[in-house]
Structure 1
């Protein structure tokens, strides 16, 4: 843990890449998931007053609920559009330039949010939510690709966890800025919802000073001098870069003549079938693991434990702080523990916690001290989620796929994420209404199944190159037949062995 962190600190430009890419990347995604909760009352008042001013009538409860649900869901629809186009944009313009251009939607959405109250237009809020979704959909993919491709193999795990770390930081910032003492008031809520524009301007001012992804420059542009220059900036001129460059050059040789695959080709390719199954399972479970249910029920549990209603938002900040601190701890231990172990431990720990939480929620009306057990279990569940699935899942497509499949893999993974988020937002309230706390048993099934799948079907990725990981997937699941694309792995490994033999 200390060694990996010390290595990261020896590369200040890489640290800057992680911070600058993160603040304008997945931070935006996390921020917009949580920020709308606090000003919801004021936005609904704006919708009602606007309709009364325009049409001379107040909305009925079901009409207001429908408009509000649509406003919330537009973020997921925009995110899906952004995710579907992100792979093409990242390949056409490069990771760095794509992130720069992606700040334009964030700033446009912020302007609409700022003017919405003055213009008495809730439609501007809807449009801004859709635009924010596009921004977050692109950022979720391109930010992850950029930082993973900038990081050396020995730091890829720690840098990858930063993706989830900025999601947690974004959620916590939305909660913190939304309290009444900061921006969660009737006068200041437009500034709260426009905060993303300030973040976009910050990244626009700082990102141009950082290098482009070395892997993108070499593997997709064939620019070896540019790749070496970017590596020297990232890791320092005094470092020995030969190993990093040789590994990328070997992959470049193996992929010569192999173009980037489309999403359809990716879905139909037999050579990456088990990697595809891994993405389908992990990203589906990320939304259906029960984390949203736990956050929803946390208010009821805190209230049952005796916390006053006006202090519930501060208790919720405690859950957000728990998620951030655990994610940071995950980043510190991931290089020594391994990603596969963290995933298995996280999924099985979450499954066990959900089962016990269901029992304590059932008993809390019969036993006076049971709400305190439920409160502890909520924090334990967040701990398991943040220390495993949250930190490891997001960068997974960038670690288990070769460059020719990477863009398509991220598009599929993030499409699953956005569809899952939309599904949970629309269907989850109905599930809770009919099943109450027994809904946790559904999430228990997903967590347990995912833990078993990773145990038997996913290899360790720590300290391995992408092509070595591909070869390990093939070794685990091969039945004696070799798919045509797997020859790329043979070429790569042969080149690596030749390089090692020359050095010896």
Structure 2
């Protein structure tokens, strides 16, 4: 049987399967795993991105008071701005360090145990934040932000790996999008808790900074009741019995999962004797160069698509539309709520539409929106109603971003790399993400200062290029195994090279071998 016929038969079986949401509801433990892993995973990353905006005035007051009391220095404006920049950017430095270590830690200690230990890091950061005001020490906030960065760097990588390996093939897209949904929810939570009616006050701002410790503690107390990922147990530990037990707990016993477990056994047979490989080996492996290039392009554009610029200009647009200055923070909450709600909607449709369509539609839609937004921002000084058009375009841009690139990029390495290269793939991907976040934070204000809203034209080029790149060079991943996706990459980019049909026939023979039977 050829690989293409196997894929076609798999697609026919998929058409007869119930809706993905029904399958998910039949797996309550998997739903719990999504919620628990998310609250201590990408939620922490999103929360730390937005939570520092509200208490910035109080933190700067603490910086001045610390220097005056401990060192007898009265800071000038540029000195205060420099220290504040260090506090903001040290989160990215910690995140980069955490992401570089995450792959090896996850391979050594396992996905679940790595997430559990990572929560202790978040609790340590929260303790420093709580004590900073009492100790009159902004240095504790600086160290705490670095620790939070390490926690977010490790948590983002391992959370994605854990969920992608816990999800059955039919639900992989839906579960993968939930990774970014928690990131968006974290950003919105930081905005919401930062308003003056909640934790954004002079008395309570330290509890806002310490909130990540509470979410880390929540995951620490609950994650231990969940199983390790089945794919890790089988493909990296060789524990077939543990894998089958984890599958029954995560996917439920109401359906027969024998076929998918046998597919894992086939992959295990294909990878027998292949150890988990590192970043250098991935960079030098020509057989996965298009998967690597796809990862590089996708994660680079995730930071250079213009989402940060859109959020920055939203205040100016809302102000021009007549929203009072003291109400702007609530309008900002609207943008965060739009991102969360769109991410949730993406969870519901990704299994029906496929990830490639969402990517292409999202990036091309973002490019068109940026072109129109540049035009409306230019005209808003000449046409009285133009700010309202800009406001609509801002929400439309967030819709395209959240419904495609935001939801599909984070889990991408887990879908296109084989098991032996997954950890290295995630390490490279999230390293690009953290470096990009740091560079955007440092360079973006300079770009805006010189180009104003014409900076959107730069981001437009990145969005347009990536949309076309995915359209021409990346296969659909929905309901396909890693072996099938690898074969599709080969078919697209090396049509004259020998196909993987012979290997697929061998794997099919192995699949039917009595020694690969399962008790499920």
Deviation for aligned residue 1:56: 2.2
Residue in structure 2 matching 1:180, options 192, 196, 207: 196
Structure 2 CA distance for aligned equivalents of residues 137 and 490 of structure 1: 40
Structure 2 CA distance for aligned equivalents of residues 15 and 383 of structure 1: 25
Structure 2 CA distance for aligned equivalents of residues 433 and 456 of structure 1: 36
- Tell me if 1:413 matches 2:429: yes
Q: How does 1:231-270 map to 2 (within 5 A)?
A: 231-270=247-286
For 2:488, the equivalent position in structure 1 comes to 472
- Tell me if 1:147 matches 2:163: yes
Contact 1:251 / 1:492 at 8 angstroms: preserved in 2? no
Contact 1:254 / 1:492 at 8 angstroms: preserved in 2? no
Structure 2 CA distance for aligned equivalents of residues 411 and 180 of structure 1: 38
- Tell me if 1:495 matches 2:507: yes
Contact 1:106 / 1:131 at 8 angstroms: preserved in 2? yes
Contact 1:254 / 1:491 at 8 angstroms: preserved in 2? no
Residue in structure 2 matching 1:79, options 69, 86, 95: 95
For 1:126, the equivalent position in structure 2 comes to 142
Contact 1:468 / 1:493 at 8 angstroms: preserved in 2? no
Residue 272 of structure 1 aligns to a residue whose secondary structure is helix
Residue 19 of structure 2 aligns to a residue whose secondary structure is helix
Residue 247 of structure 1 aligns to a residue whose secondary structure is helix
For 2:14, the equivalent position in structure 1 comes to none
**Superposition RMSD in Å:** 1.6
Deviation for aligned residue 1:497: 6.2
- Tell me if 1:214 matches 2:230: yes
Q: Which runs of 5+ in 2 are unaligned?
A: 1-16
Deviation for aligned residue 1:238: 3.6
Contact 1:44 / 1:68 at 8 angstroms: preserved in 2? yes
Deviation for aligned residue 1:137: 0.2
Residue 480 of structure 1 aligns to a residue whose secondary structure is coil
Contact 2:266 / 2:510 at 8 angstroms: preserved in 1? no
Deviation for aligned residue 1:494: 3.0
Q: How does 1:265-304 map to 2 (within 5 A)?
A: 265-304=281-320
Residue in structure 2 matching 1:329, options 345, 354, 360: 345
User: Residues 143-175 of structure 1, C-alpha deviation per residue, up to 9 Å, x if partnerless?
Assistant: 000001000000000000000000000000000
Deviation for aligned residue 1:233: 0.5
Structure 1 CA distance for aligned equivalents of residues 271 and 392 of structure 2: 50
For 1:99, the equivalent position in structure 2 comes to 115
For 1:437, the equivalent position in structure 2 comes to 453
Contact 1:149 / 1:216 at 8 angstroms: preserved in 2? yes
- Tell me if 1:163 matches 2:179: yes
Deviation for aligned residue 1:268: 1.1
Residue in structure 2 matching 1:367, options 379, 383, 389: 383
User: Residues 240-289 of structure 1, C-alpha deviation per residue, up to 9 Å, x if partnerless?
Assistant: 12112101100000001111111011011100010011001000000000
- Tell me if 1:17 matches 2:29: no
- Tell me if 1:316 matches 2:328: no
- Tell me if 1:190 matches 2:206: yes
Structure 2 CA distance for aligned equivalents of residues 243 and 235 of structure 1: 13
Contact 2:26 / 2:254 at 8 angstroms: preserved in 1? no
Structure 1 CA distance for aligned equivalents of residues 508 and 378 of structure 2: 58
Deviation for aligned residue 1:500: 7.3
Structure 2 CA distance for aligned equivalents of residues 347 and 51 of structure 1: 47
308-317 vs 229-238, which moves further: 229-238
Structure 2 CA distance for aligned equivalents of residues 57 and 415 of structure 1: 38
Structure-2 change in CA distance of 1:474 and 1:141 (3 Å): same
User: What TM-score does the superposition give when structure 2 sets the normalisation length?
Assistant: 0.94
Contact 1:24 / 1:199 at 8 angstroms: preserved in 2? yes
Structure-2 change in CA distance of 1:124 and 1:493 (3 Å): farther
Q: Which runs of 5+ in 1 are unaligned?
A: none
Structure 2 CA distance for aligned equivalents of residues 492 and 186 of structure 1: 64
User: What TM-score does the superposition give when structure 1 sets the normalisation length?
Assistant: 0.97
Deviation for aligned residue 1:498: 6.2
Deviation for aligned residue 1:220: 0.2
User: Residues 62-89 of structure 1, C-alpha deviation per residue, up to 9 Å, x if partnerless?
Assistant: 1001100111000000000000000000
